[in-house]
Protein backbone atom coordinates (compact mmCIF):
# COMPACT_ATOMS: atom_id res chain seq x y z
CA UNK A 1 0.00 0.00 0.00
CA UNK A 2 1.44 3.43 -0.94
CA UNK A 3 2.39 5.60 2.01
CA UNK A 4 -0.14 8.25 0.91
CA UNK A 5 -2.94 5.69 1.47
CA UNK A 6 -1.66 4.44 4.82
CA UNK A 7 -4.05 4.18 7.75
CA UNK A 8 -1.52 6.17 9.78
CA UNK A 9 -2.67 9.58 11.09
CA UNK A 10 0.18 11.12 9.06
CA UNK A 11 -1.89 11.62 5.93
CA UNK A 12 0.12 12.00 2.73
CA UNK A 13 3.42 11.28 4.48
CA UNK A 14 5.04 10.43 1.14
CA UNK A 15 4.43 13.97 -0.09
CA UNK A 16 6.84 16.68 1.08
CA UNK A 17 5.29 19.90 -0.25
CA UNK A 18 1.62 19.27 0.60
CA UNK A 19 -0.75 17.34 2.80
CA UNK A 20 -2.69 14.65 0.92
CA UNK A 21 -5.84 13.19 2.48
CA UNK A 22 -7.40 10.32 0.50
CA UNK A 23 -11.19 10.52 0.12
CA UNK A 24 -11.87 6.81 -0.33
CA UNK A 25 -10.10 3.56 -1.00
CA UNK A 26 -10.53 3.84 -4.77
CA UNK A 27 -10.24 7.46 -5.89
CA UNK A 28 -9.82 11.06 -4.82
CA UNK A 29 -7.75 13.14 -2.40
CA UNK A 30 -8.04 16.50 -0.68
CA UNK A 31 -4.88 18.59 -0.97
CA UNK A 32 -3.90 21.08 1.75
CA UNK A 33 -0.98 23.41 2.30
CA UNK A 34 -0.24 24.61 -1.22
CA UNK A 35 -0.55 27.94 -3.03
CA UNK A 36 -1.49 27.31 -6.65
CA UNK A 37 -0.44 30.85 -7.57
CA UNK A 38 3.16 29.88 -6.80
CA UNK A 39 3.85 28.85 -10.39
CA UNK A 40 7.62 28.75 -9.87
CA UNK A 41 7.49 26.08 -7.15
CA UNK A 42 8.65 23.13 -9.26
CA UNK A 43 8.73 20.54 -6.43
CA UNK A 44 5.13 21.38 -5.50
CA UNK A 45 3.93 21.11 -9.11
CA UNK A 46 5.73 17.81 -9.58
CA UNK A 47 4.00 16.39 -6.52
CA UNK A 48 0.66 17.83 -7.59
CA UNK A 49 0.96 16.05 -10.93
CA UNK A 50 1.92 12.87 -9.13
CA UNK A 51 -1.19 13.15 -6.91
CA UNK A 52 -3.34 13.81 -9.99
CA UNK A 53 -2.13 10.56 -11.58
CA UNK A 54 -2.30 8.59 -8.32
CA UNK A 55 -5.76 9.68 -7.16
CA UNK A 56 -7.39 10.76 -10.47
CA UNK A 57 -9.34 13.49 -8.60
CA UNK A 58 -7.61 16.11 -6.44
CA UNK A 59 -9.49 18.80 -4.52
CA UNK A 60 -7.12 21.63 -3.59
CA UNK A 61 -8.57 23.71 -0.77
CA UNK A 62 -7.81 27.18 0.55
CA UNK A 63 -7.19 28.94 -2.79
CA UNK A 64 -8.02 32.47 -3.96
CA UNK A 65 -7.96 32.23 -7.74
CA UNK A 66 -8.99 34.84 -10.27
CA UNK A 67 -10.00 33.64 -13.74
CA UNK A 68 -6.47 34.52 -14.90
CA UNK A 69 -4.97 32.43 -12.07
CA UNK A 70 -7.19 29.46 -12.91
CA UNK A 71 -6.23 29.76 -16.56
CA UNK A 72 -2.52 29.62 -15.71
CA UNK A 73 -3.02 26.65 -13.39
CA UNK A 74 -4.95 24.94 -16.18
CA UNK A 75 -2.06 25.37 -18.58
CA UNK A 76 0.06 23.23 -16.23
CA UNK A 77 -2.24 20.30 -17.06
CA UNK A 78 -2.65 21.10 -20.77
CA UNK A 79 -3.74 23.63 -23.36
CA UNK A 80 -7.22 25.07 -22.70
CA UNK A 81 -10.12 23.62 -24.72
CA UNK A 82 -13.29 25.26 -26.00
CA UNK A 83 -16.59 23.92 -24.66
CA UNK A 84 -19.11 24.00 -27.51
CA UNK A 85 -22.36 24.38 -25.56
CA UNK A 86 -21.72 27.46 -23.38
CA UNK A 87 -20.30 30.90 -24.04
CA UNK A 88 -16.92 31.61 -22.52
CA UNK A 89 -16.06 34.38 -20.09
CA UNK A 90 -14.80 37.77 -21.27
CA UNK A 91 -11.07 37.46 -21.84
CA UNK A 92 -11.15 33.70 -21.22
CA UNK A 93 -13.22 32.14 -24.00
CA UNK A 94 -12.41 28.56 -22.93
CA UNK A 95 -13.65 29.14 -19.36
CA UNK A 96 -17.36 28.99 -18.49
CA UNK A 97 -19.39 30.14 -15.49
CA UNK A 98 -21.67 27.49 -14.02
CA UNK A 99 -24.41 29.14 -11.99
CA UNK A 100 -27.51 27.74 -10.30
CA UNK A 101 -29.66 30.38 -8.63
CA UNK A 102 -31.92 29.64 -5.63
CA UNK A 103 -35.02 29.50 -7.85
CA UNK A 104 -33.50 27.09 -10.39
CA UNK A 105 -34.52 23.45 -10.28
CA UNK A 106 -32.12 21.98 -12.87
CA UNK A 107 -28.33 21.95 -12.50
CA UNK A 108 -25.49 21.56 -14.98
CA UNK A 109 -23.43 18.38 -15.00
CA UNK A 110 -25.93 15.92 -13.55
CA UNK A 111 -25.82 12.27 -14.70
CA UNK A 112 -22.65 10.21 -14.85
CA UNK A 113 -20.31 11.19 -17.71
CA UNK A 114 -16.78 12.12 -18.71
CA UNK A 115 -16.42 15.58 -20.18
CA UNK A 116 -17.05 16.16 -23.90
CA UNK A 117 -16.30 12.58 -24.98
CA UNK A 118 -18.19 13.43 -28.20
CA UNK A 119 -15.25 15.56 -29.39
CA UNK A 120 -12.54 14.12 -31.62
CA UNK A 121 -9.97 15.13 -28.99
CA UNK A 122 -11.62 15.24 -25.56
CA UNK A 123 -9.85 17.05 -22.69
CA UNK A 124 -7.51 15.10 -20.46
CA UNK A 125 -8.46 17.17 -17.41
CA UNK A 126 -11.17 19.44 -16.03
CA UNK A 127 -10.53 22.20 -13.49
CA UNK A 128 -13.58 23.35 -11.54
CA UNK A 129 -13.20 26.27 -9.10
CA UNK A 130 -15.85 27.05 -6.49
CA UNK A 131 -16.72 30.74 -6.17
CA UNK A 132 -19.88 30.28 -4.06
CA UNK A 133 -21.23 27.07 -2.57
CA UNK A 134 -24.47 26.21 -0.75
CA UNK A 135 -24.37 25.63 3.02
CA UNK A 136 -25.30 22.01 2.37
CA UNK A 137 -25.50 19.80 -0.70
CA UNK A 138 -23.98 20.39 -4.11
CA UNK A 139 -21.38 17.62 -3.85
CA UNK A 140 -19.91 15.86 -6.89
CA UNK A 141 -19.54 12.09 -7.22
CA UNK A 142 -16.57 10.56 -9.05
CA UNK A 143 -15.89 7.00 -10.23
CA UNK A 144 -12.60 5.29 -11.04
CA UNK A 145 -13.08 3.59 -14.42
CA UNK A 146 -9.60 2.05 -14.28
CA UNK A 147 -10.56 0.13 -11.15
CA UNK A 148 -13.87 -0.74 -12.79
CA UNK A 149 -12.05 -2.17 -15.80
CA UNK A 150 -9.71 -4.19 -13.59
CA UNK A 151 -12.74 -5.74 -11.85
CA UNK A 152 -14.27 -7.07 -15.09
CA UNK A 153 -14.11 -10.75 -15.90
CA UNK A 154 -11.48 -11.95 -18.35
CA UNK A 155 -14.28 -12.85 -20.75
CA UNK A 156 -15.73 -9.34 -20.71
CA UNK A 157 -12.29 -7.79 -21.16
CA UNK A 158 -11.73 -10.01 -24.17
CA UNK A 159 -15.12 -9.12 -25.65
CA UNK A 160 -14.43 -5.39 -25.32
CA UNK A 161 -10.98 -5.59 -26.89
CA UNK A 162 -10.95 -3.34 -29.96
CA UNK A 163 -14.58 -2.22 -29.56
CA UNK A 164 -15.19 1.39 -30.70
CA UNK A 165 -17.91 3.51 -29.18
CA UNK A 166 -19.94 6.15 -31.00
CA UNK A 167 -20.24 9.22 -28.75
CA UNK A 168 -22.77 12.03 -29.28
CA UNK A 169 -23.37 15.48 -27.80
CA UNK A 170 -27.11 15.22 -28.39
CA UNK A 171 -28.02 13.78 -24.95
CA UNK A 172 -30.51 11.47 -26.67
CA UNK A 173 -30.87 9.27 -23.61
CA UNK A 174 -30.94 11.97 -20.90
CA UNK A 175 -33.90 11.80 -18.56
CA UNK A 176 -36.18 14.75 -19.28
CA UNK A 177 -35.17 15.29 -22.89
CA UNK A 178 -32.27 15.89 -25.24
CA UNK A 179 -29.72 18.73 -25.31
CA UNK A 180 -32.26 21.30 -26.50
CA UNK A 181 -34.74 20.39 -23.78
CA UNK A 182 -31.99 20.38 -21.15
CA UNK A 183 -30.68 23.81 -22.16
CA UNK A 184 -34.21 25.22 -22.02
CA UNK A 185 -34.34 24.37 -18.30
CA UNK A 186 -31.00 25.98 -17.40
CA UNK A 187 -31.97 29.58 -16.80
CA UNK A 188 -28.77 31.25 -15.63
CA UNK A 189 -26.06 29.79 -17.85
CA UNK A 190 -25.02 31.21 -21.22
CA UNK A 191 -25.78 28.01 -23.16
CA UNK A 192 -25.54 27.88 -26.94
CA UNK A 193 -25.62 25.64 -30.04
CA UNK A 194 -28.36 23.35 -28.72
CA UNK A 195 -29.59 22.78 -32.26
CA UNK A 196 -26.14 21.62 -33.38
CA UNK A 197 -25.63 19.07 -30.61
CA UNK A 198 -26.09 15.95 -32.72
CA UNK A 199 -23.42 17.16 -35.13
CA UNK A 200 -20.86 16.60 -32.39
CA UNK A 201 -20.06 12.91 -32.80
CA UNK A 202 -16.83 10.97 -32.32
CA UNK A 203 -15.59 7.39 -32.24
CA UNK A 204 -13.30 6.27 -29.42
CA UNK A 205 -12.15 2.95 -27.90
CA UNK A 206 -14.42 1.69 -25.13
CA UNK A 207 -11.25 0.53 -23.36
CA UNK A 208 -8.54 3.19 -23.56
CA UNK A 209 -4.94 3.13 -22.37
CA UNK A 210 -3.78 5.99 -20.18
CA UNK A 211 -0.76 7.61 -21.91
CA UNK A 212 0.98 8.48 -18.64
CA UNK A 213 0.45 5.31 -16.61
CA UNK A 214 -0.12 2.65 -19.27
CA UNK A 215 -3.21 1.45 -17.35
CA UNK A 216 -6.42 0.47 -19.14
CA UNK A 217 -9.75 2.08 -18.22
CA UNK A 218 -13.32 1.91 -19.40
CA UNK A 219 -14.24 4.95 -21.46
CA UNK A 220 -17.99 5.31 -21.94
CA UNK A 221 -21.18 6.59 -20.35
CA UNK A 222 -24.84 5.85 -20.87
CA UNK A 223 -25.31 9.61 -21.33
CA UNK A 224 -22.96 10.15 -24.28
CA UNK A 225 -22.21 6.70 -25.75
CA UNK A 226 -24.94 5.94 -28.28
CA UNK A 227 -23.81 2.55 -29.55
CA UNK A 228 -20.84 0.45 -30.57
CA UNK A 229 -19.45 1.03 -34.04
CA UNK A 230 -20.81 -1.62 -36.42
CA UNK A 231 -23.73 -2.42 -34.11
CA UNK A 232 -27.23 -1.00 -33.69
CA UNK A 233 -28.34 0.94 -30.62
CA UNK A 234 -30.73 -1.91 -29.79
CA UNK A 235 -27.80 -4.33 -29.71
CA UNK A 236 -25.40 -1.99 -27.94
CA UNK A 237 -27.42 -0.26 -25.25
CA UNK A 238 -27.79 -3.18 -22.80
CA UNK A 239 -24.00 -3.62 -22.69
CA UNK A 240 -23.36 0.15 -22.48
CA UNK A 241 -25.82 0.50 -19.61
CA UNK A 242 -24.42 -2.55 -17.80
CA UNK A 243 -20.88 -1.16 -18.04
CA UNK A 244 -22.07 2.31 -16.98
CA UNK A 245 -23.73 0.84 -13.87
CA UNK A 246 -20.66 -1.27 -13.16
CA UNK A 247 -18.35 1.79 -13.26
CA UNK A 248 -20.34 3.65 -10.60
CA UNK A 249 -20.65 0.86 -8.06
CA UNK A 250 -19.84 2.32 -4.62
CA UNK A 251 -16.46 0.59 -4.26
CA UNK A 252 -15.12 2.56 -7.24
CA UNK A 253 -16.33 6.00 -6.12
CA UNK A 254 -15.72 9.02 -3.92
CA UNK A 255 -17.75 12.10 -3.05
CA UNK A 256 -16.21 15.57 -3.22
CA UNK A 257 -17.58 18.13 -0.80
CA UNK A 258 -17.12 21.71 -1.96
CA UNK A 259 -16.24 24.89 -0.13
CA UNK A 260 -15.46 28.37 -1.53
CA UNK A 261 -11.91 28.69 -2.83
CA UNK A 262 -11.54 25.04 -3.82
CA UNK A 263 -10.09 23.90 -7.13
CA UNK A 264 -10.91 20.32 -8.04
CA UNK A 265 -9.01 18.77 -10.93
CA UNK A 266 -9.94 15.40 -12.41
CA UNK A 267 -8.57 13.06 -15.05
CA UNK A 268 -11.24 12.53 -17.73
CA UNK A 269 -9.28 9.59 -19.14
CA UNK A 270 -10.11 7.30 -16.23
CA UNK A 271 -13.05 8.84 -14.35
CA UNK A 272 -16.75 9.57 -14.55
CA UNK A 273 -18.47 12.29 -12.52
CA UNK A 274 -21.97 13.34 -11.53
CA UNK A 275 -23.01 16.71 -10.04
CA UNK A 276 -25.66 16.12 -7.36
CA UNK A 277 -28.70 18.39 -7.60
CA UNK A 278 -29.73 18.52 -3.93
CA UNK A 279 -29.42 22.20 -2.99
CA UNK A 280 -32.63 23.87 -4.19
CA UNK A 281 -33.08 27.30 -2.63
CA UNK A 282 -29.34 28.03 -2.50
CA UNK A 283 -26.92 29.62 -4.95
CA UNK A 284 -23.91 27.82 -6.40
CA UNK A 285 -21.33 29.41 -8.72
CA UNK A 286 -18.35 27.64 -10.26
CA UNK A 287 -15.79 28.33 -13.00
CA UNK A 288 -15.04 25.46 -15.35
CA UNK A 289 -12.01 24.99 -17.60
CA UNK A 290 -11.12 21.90 -19.63
CA UNK A 291 -7.57 21.37 -20.87
CA UNK A 292 -5.35 19.00 -22.82
CA UNK A 293 -7.15 17.91 -26.01
CA UNK A 294 -6.14 14.31 -26.56
CA UNK A 295 -7.33 11.52 -28.85
CA UNK A 296 -8.17 8.37 -26.82
CA UNK A 297 -6.20 5.27 -27.79
Q: What is the CATH superfamily name and number for domain 3-293?
A: Clavaminate synthase-like (3.60.130.10)
R_g of the chain computed on alpha carbons: 19
Buried b (16+ CB within 10 A) or exposed e, 152-190: beeeeeeebeebbbbbbbbbebbeeebbeebbeebeebe
Identify the DSSP state of 216.
E
74 with 61: CB under 8 angstroms?
no
Q: Residue 186: its pLDDT value, please?
A: 72
pLDDT given at position 98 = 95
pTM: 0.93
Give how far Cα 248 sits from Cα of 147, 240, 254, Å: 10, 13, 10
**The pLDDT of residue 178:** 61
Number of DSSP helices (H) and strands (E) in the chain, helices first: 6, 16
Residues of the chain with pLDDT under 70: 1-13, 177-178, 180-185, 187-189
pLDDT at 6: 35
The strand order across the sheet containing 253-256 reads: 253-256, 140-144, 271-275
Measured between alpha carbons, how far is 181 from 4 in angstroms, rounded to an integer? Answer: 44
**In sequence order, which residues have a C-beta less than 8 Å from that of residue 49 and are 6 or more positions away?**
76, 77
Domain extents in the chain: 3-293
Q: Quick one: pLDDT at residue 1?
A: 32
Amino acid sequence: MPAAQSASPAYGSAYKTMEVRPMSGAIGAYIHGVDLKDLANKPMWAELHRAFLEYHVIAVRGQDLSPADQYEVGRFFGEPCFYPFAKGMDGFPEMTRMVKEPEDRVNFGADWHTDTSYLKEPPRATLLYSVETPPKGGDTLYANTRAAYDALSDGMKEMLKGVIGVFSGGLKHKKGGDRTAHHARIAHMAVQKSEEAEKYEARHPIVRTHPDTGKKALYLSALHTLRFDGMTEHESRPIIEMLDHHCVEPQFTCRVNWEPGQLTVWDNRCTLHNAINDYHGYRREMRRLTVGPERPR
